Structure 1
Amino acid sequence: MSAASHSSQPGASVILPGATLGVLGGGQLGRMFAHAAQSMGYFTAVLDADATSPAGLVSHHHVRSGYEDPQGLAELARLCAAVTTEFENVPAAALNQLALSLPVSPAGASVAIAQDRAAEKAHFVKCGVPCAPYAVIETAEQLAAVNDALLPGILKTARMGYDGKGQVRVKTREELATAWAELGQVACVLEKMLPLAHECSVIVARSRQGAIVNLPVQRNLHREGILAVTEVYAGNLPAAQAEQAIAAAQSVAEGLDYVGVLCVEFFVLESGQLVVNEIAPRPHNSGHYSQNALDVSQFELQVRCMANLPLVQPRQHSAAIMLNLLGDLWFTNSPTAKTPAWDQILALPGCHLHLYGKVDAKRGRKMGHLNITAATPEQVRATALQAAAILGIAPF
């Protein structure tokens, strides 16, 4: 264990700057984690097989191996005082293996629940947090036994689905049977479609001692299953609804005995009722605005959790809107990839550009995000709509 740590007990010690912190996964979330850790004086190590992974390119150490490679995991454990993950589909077994020799947050058990929609739904029910009516479908018998009241619904693979992948809308029993066959008859969850007003999310951070803090409630707009816009300012949701979302997110984290940063996504129904949709055991797109609108970002909270440093409640100092920047923007009015007019964007007040260092722009690929901050909700919306118009993003 690092000399900057104070104890041989995994998880018991404070890990001070000067130590090396590791992350499983080399994507943009790992990159932003590495930047946050480095700004606080830590060294960073990334385990990812891709030689050009965004996080690997900016870290002090890049262990180039798969998540289940014993030698790669051993090397990461040798380098690091603690490890986290930036990707929910990292095998829970890899986290459990690392946890034998150093603090790992979140724990493999928490990540395993987030990886399985059936286990995730059961956890929500156990925590007393309302979710959409659902049925688990793993066999032809369960398919036949589905209650008609769940239709129309959305059939989702229990594992490995994200950003709208592995999901099929179904209206009838026939469509349900066809969709399950098309998904390969793998374990699925059928969720009843509910009348949505909008979506929101809450990001919480929880320490090993059970201290918990939260970011403000984020109002989210998804397009084609991918987060497009996040708006965070006073009045983005009614106060009572926001308080309910925060309480539910804290309940979900505490029920998991979670350590680290956790995003809990909600549907807000036309009736005003909140239902939990899913969890992400890591920082989240909808929390990116925290880099420029809060005094503590979600990535700094991730560092504090894994290093066993004190958690402080983040304070928002500016109204904020985050625009997700997909590779499609490189192809606006151009058959070949063309760099967007960032100079025009950066001429607007309160625009903060975050690009992820990905070499090739591809449609649907997350290339970066734009955080817009201002003194008032009206100002931030006006600037964000200007920026969207320049980039060719549909208004919202």
Structure 2
Amino acid sequence: MTDHTPSLHLVPPTEGAPAPATGSAPAQSVLLPGATLGVLGGGQLGRMFAHAAQAMGYFTVVLDPDPVSPAGLVSHHHIQTGYEDPDGLARLAALSDAVTTEFENVPAASLAALAGQCPVAPAARAVAVAQDRAQEKAHFVRCGVPCAPYAVIETAAQLAAISGDLLPGILKTARMGYDGKGQVRVATPAELAAAWDSVGQVPCVLEKMLPLALECSVIVARGADGSVVNLPVQRNLHRNGILAVTEVYEQNLPPALAQQAVAAAKSIATGLHYVGVLCVEFFVLQDGSLVVNEIAPRPHNSGHYSQNACDVSQFELQVRALAGLPLVQPRQHSAAVMLNLLGDLWFAHGDVAHTPPWDQVLALPGTHLHLYGKTQAKHGRKMGHLNITAATAEAARATALQAAALLGIAPF
């Protein structure tokens, strides 16, 4: 059993961290506009990456098996094949001057294979850590960033040895869990055993449940030269395990806590030798302390507000990091609220899908609609987001609550 208790001590980021990959393609030089940037994955994050890259004068190529993938529909090239198809990966490498990914569950082996042919960021080793909760937790500990007390469960013996101090807790599958999937709350040893059976006895992490006050996240961008910049700390509200609302403005969190979160996020990124955009999610406990929850090796829903509230968005940072361009510290010029738009909004009045009243929403000042080009609305499916910007936090919140009422989103 592995059991760690929260304590904050940021060690030098490279201590105990994965070594830089060897045997990969030659070091990347700066790729100026006119080059072609590739992305593994055709979802909405890839779509917004492609839009940002194209706005800066780059060509784009997407590899995704879905013929109507949001990113594939807007890219210069769409390689319609699986993420592990050797021929498709070879074609992606041939077309691309550098390649990134838009979701964390892309096979790390595919990234490693591409790295032998062209620059890839983030590297396979960094993505592999984010794909495995046990590795992820161990990396947090190496970086001196506090996380919830936890234990790894891979065998029946480890299950039997679990300390009662970790209950009640949340059992999470070590791999392939996101948006609340692969997670079971447990209060007793019997519930824990039943939960492990229910997920197929796959490797899991049991985390002790802590008294949460709120959730927040930090998005950092790190270049191959080691430079790191960050977006402002985002205050997040989740519903049913899915991000619902993000609020970003001065004093959305106590300044000292925000500084601590930024320092921790930079330590985690640097410890991974990370290149690209990384989101680090945190819990703020009721006693005011901070613990890290998880990382996402890509842009993140909670950073979408940066498209309209900052002078450099998270997607432009992703382009800059991949192309080797200078990373500048983003500046937020407007208070912002982001509302996640799920497919449920299309079914607010029954079982038949109806287009939400976008005309009424867009009549509100400072509203910016971003839809992802998905052809069919489904319950729980991310269809878009709405950014609300204003001169003050009070004005942004007031408009966001008006928009939420029009759309049938619960107030916050």
Taking structure 2 as the reference length, what is the TM-score of the superposition?
0.94
| Structure 2 counterpart of 1:285 | 301
Letter in 2 for 1:325: L
Taking the TM superposition and a 5 Å limit, the aligned residue runs for 1:31-46 are 31-46=47-62
| Structure 2 counterpart of 1:209 | 225
| Structure 2 counterpart of 1:14 | 30
**Deviations 1:314-351, CA, capped at 9 Å, x for gaps:** 00000000000000000001220000000000000000
Greater RCO (CA < 8 Å, at least 6 residues apart): 2
**Deviations 1:70-118, CA, capped at 9 Å, x for gaps:** 0000000000000000010000010011000111000000000000000
**Structure 2 counterpart SS, 1:55:** helix
| Structure 2 counterpart of 1:140 | 156
Equivalent of 1:107, from 105, 114, 123?
A: 123
**Structure 2 counterpart SS, 1:88:** coil
For 2:35 and 2:204, locate their aligned partners in 1 and report how far apart those are by CA, in whole Å.
42
CA contact (8 A) 2:25 2:115 kept: no
Letter in 2 for 1:94: S
Equivalent of 2:319, from 279, 293, 303?
A: 303
Letter in 1 for 2:75: S
| Structure 1 counterpart of 2:183 | 167
**Structure 1 counterpart SS, 2:364:** coil
Equivalent of 1:383, from 399, 402, 411?
A: 399
For 2:190 and 2:351, locate their aligned partners in 1 and report how far apart those are by CA, in whole Å.
40
> By how many angstroms is 1:43 displaced?
0.4
CA contact (8 A) 1:293 1:320 kept: yes
| Structure 2 counterpart of 1:57 | 73
Counterpart check, 1:196 vs 2:216 = no
Q: After TM superposition, where is structure 1 displaced by more than 4 Å over at least 4 residues in a row?
A: none
| Structure 2 counterpart of 1:317 | 333
* Structure 2 runs not aligned, ≥5 long: 1-23
CA contact (8 A) 1:199 1:220 kept: yes
**Deviations 1:208-238, CA, capped at 9 Å, x for gaps:** 0000000000000000000000000001000
Letter in 1 for 2:179: D
For 2:261 and 2:175, locate their aligned partners in 1 and report how far apart those are by CA, in whole Å.
25
**Structure 1 counterpart SS, 2:114:** helix
**Structure 2 counterpart SS, 1:72:** helix
Letter in 2 for 1:338: H
Letter in 2 for 1:214: N
Equivalent of 1:327, from 318, 334, 343?
A: 343
* Structure 1 runs not aligned, ≥5 long: 1-7
CA contact (8 A) 1:11 1:208 kept: no
For 1:54 and 1:12, locate their aligned partners in 2 and report how far apart those are by CA, in whole Å.
28
| Structure 2 counterpart of 1:249 | 265
> By how many angstroms is 1:12 displaced?
2.9
Counterpart check, 1:226 vs 2:242 = yes
| Structure 2 counterpart of 1:157 | 173
Equivalent of 2:108, from 92, 97, 114?
A: 92
> By how many angstroms is 1:11 displaced?
3.3
| Structure 2 counterpart of 1:5 | none
**Structure 1 counterpart SS, 2:220:** strand
**Structure 1 counterpart SS, 2:99:** strand
Letter in 2 for 1:298: Q
CA contact (8 A) 1:352 1:372 kept: yes
CA contact (8 A) 1:11 1:102 kept: no
| Structure 2 counterpart of 1:123 | 139
For 1:55 and 1:378, locate their aligned partners in 2 and report how far apart those are by CA, in whole Å.
35
Equivalent of 1:75, from 84, 91, 94?
A: 91
**Deviations 1:42-68, CA, capped at 9 Å, x for gaps:** 000000000000000000000011110
CA contact (8 A) 1:44 1:61 kept: yes
Equivalent of 1:236, from 243, 248, 252?
A: 252
Letter in 2 for 1:142: Q
For 2:350 and 2:151, locate their aligned partners in 1 and report how far apart those are by CA, in whole Å.
45
Q: CA RMSD in A?
A: 0.8
| Structure 2 counterpart of 1:4 | none
**Structure 2 counterpart SS, 1:235:** coil
| Structure 1 counterpart of 2:193 | 177
For 1:222 and 1:84, locate their aligned partners in 2 and report how far apart those are by CA, in whole Å.
27
For 1:87 and 1:213, locate their aligned partners in 2 and report how far apart those are by CA, in whole Å.
21
Taking structure 1 as the reference length, what is the TM-score of the superposition?
0.98
CA contact (8 A) 2:25 2:117 kept: no
Letter in 2 for 1:146: I
CA contact (8 A) 1:319 1:374 kept: yes
**Deviations 1:96-152, CA, capped at 9 Å, x for gaps:** 110001110000000000000000000000000000000000000000000100000
> By how many angstroms is 1:9 displaced?
6.7
CA contact (8 A) 2:25 2:116 kept: no
Letter in 1 for 2:305: Y
| Number of equivalences | 389
CA contact (8 A) 1:229 1:323 kept: yes
For 2:228 and 2:72, locate their aligned partners in 1 and report how far apart those are by CA, in whole Å.
30
CA contact (8 A) 1:267 1:277 kept: yes
For 1:300 and 1:12, locate their aligned partners in 2 and report how far apart those are by CA, in whole Å.
18
For 1:334 and 1:9, locate their aligned partners in 2 and report how far apart those are by CA, in whole Å.
54
> By how many angstroms is 1:10 displaced?
3.1
For 2:351 and 2:27, locate their aligned partners in 1 and report how far apart those are by CA, in whole Å.
52
For 2:305 and 2:335, locate their aligned partners in 1 and report how far apart those are by CA, in whole Å.
10
